[in-house]
Structure 1
Amino acid sequence: MSHNISKTILKPFLLVIALLTFGITTLSTTINASADSDSDAHYSAVYNEAKKHLGSRYVFGAVGPTNFDCSGFTQYVYKKSVSKKIPRTAQAQYNGTKKVSKKNVQKGDLVYFGGSKSSISHVGMYIGNGKMIDSQNRGVVTENVYAPWWHVVGFSRPATLTFD
């Protein structure tokens, strides 16, 4: 009789263990996939989305899809191209994304301007060769990062991008 009781108790116990193991494995896979979600983010997608909006009007506070301010533009481009959410304002984008040094800046990184790292007033997207695409008083344009009217205060990488 005690042999049957052991089997009766053991079967549900093993079933619970099997379900827990399956659940933990599934959760672990989901967490790892989320952590690596940037891994299929291609620079070409970000760059092509940004280029689509060249010539769009600058409007303070605008977040797209036809008018932008500087941080509304970078936020829109990352969300639309690689489904990456970044904060709304230039200062919040700098504060909330991974910093990179000038020597390690890559295409697709964000470049920030202002009085200091705690007083950021503008952001653009670096596209290589000292150039960026940004939204400013002339609208969405391609221009030099190191123009005399800009004071670069830092760079950040909102997503790890792959290059084709």
Structure 2
Amino acid sequence: MFIATIAMMLVAINPSSETASAKSNTSYDSVLKTAKKHLGARYVWGATGPTHFDCSGFTKYVYKKSIKKTIPRTAQQQYNHTKKVSKSNIKKGDLVYFGGSKHSISHVGMYIGNGKMIDSQNRGVIVERVYSPWWHVVGFSRPANLTY
């Protein structure tokens, strides 16, 4: 009985299982998988999923569904309330903001590497280049410290 109790206590506090669980809960792969699952979903202004999205509704949904991270609802709020990162420090999973200035954010997408992002815009959820003639990049933020 004593040995069984000790064994159960060790399993319950095993740091390696906690670490593995924490890593899987903040995995970029999980975030990307959730985002890609919705490629082709229709754009609807104000929609937050799971079948239709606007830009910030998409990023909010992906983070909540994949790693249980709650971020604000609008692109401007997401910019205002997440940790800013420089262009030189951008990582996969970071958010990319567009608009006239940091005070007038009009669009958000999620960086997926190689100069590309996944976002929801008038053509629905797609993968496209971050730097295009029709976008003015305002900044980047990191809503969560993801594992890669």
TM-score in terms of structure 1 length: 0.76
Determine helix, strand or coil for the equivalent of 1:44.
helix
Determine if the alignment matches structure 1 residue 53 to structure 2 residue 42: no
Q: How does 1:7-18 map to 2 (within 5 A)?
A: none
Q: How many residues align?
A: 128
Which of 43, 56, 72 is residue 28 of structure 2 equivalent to?
Answer: 43
Q: Report the Cα offset of residue 58 of structure 1.
A: 0.1
Where has structure 1 moved over 2 Å in runs of 4 or more? 37-40
Q: Report the Cα offset of residue 39 of structure 1.
A: 8.3
Preserved CA contact (<8 Å) 1:39 1:160: no
Give the aligned CA root-mean-square deviation in angstroms: 1.4
Determine if the alignment matches structure 1 residue 74 to structure 2 residue 50: no
Where does structure 1 lack aligned partners over 5 or more consecutive residues?
1-32
Residue 77 of structure 2 aligns with which residue?
92
Q: Report the Cα offset of residue 157 of structure 1.
A: 0.3
Q: Report the Cα offset of residue 145 of structure 1.
A: 0.2
Q: Report the Cα offset of residue 38 of structure 1.
A: 7.9
TM-score in terms of structure 2 length: 0.84
Decide which structure has greater helix share: 1
Matches of 2:117 and 2:25, distance apart in 1 = 23
Cα-to-partner distance string for 1:6-41 (whole Å, 9 max, x where unaligned):
xxxxxxxxxxxxxxxxxxxxxxxxxxx9xxx78840
Letter in 2 for 1:72: G
Matches of 1:120 and 1:148, distance apart in 2 = 17
Where does structure 2 lack aligned partners over 5 or more consecutive residues?
1-17
Determine helix, strand or coil for the equivalent of 2:119.
strand
Higher Cα radius of gyration = 1
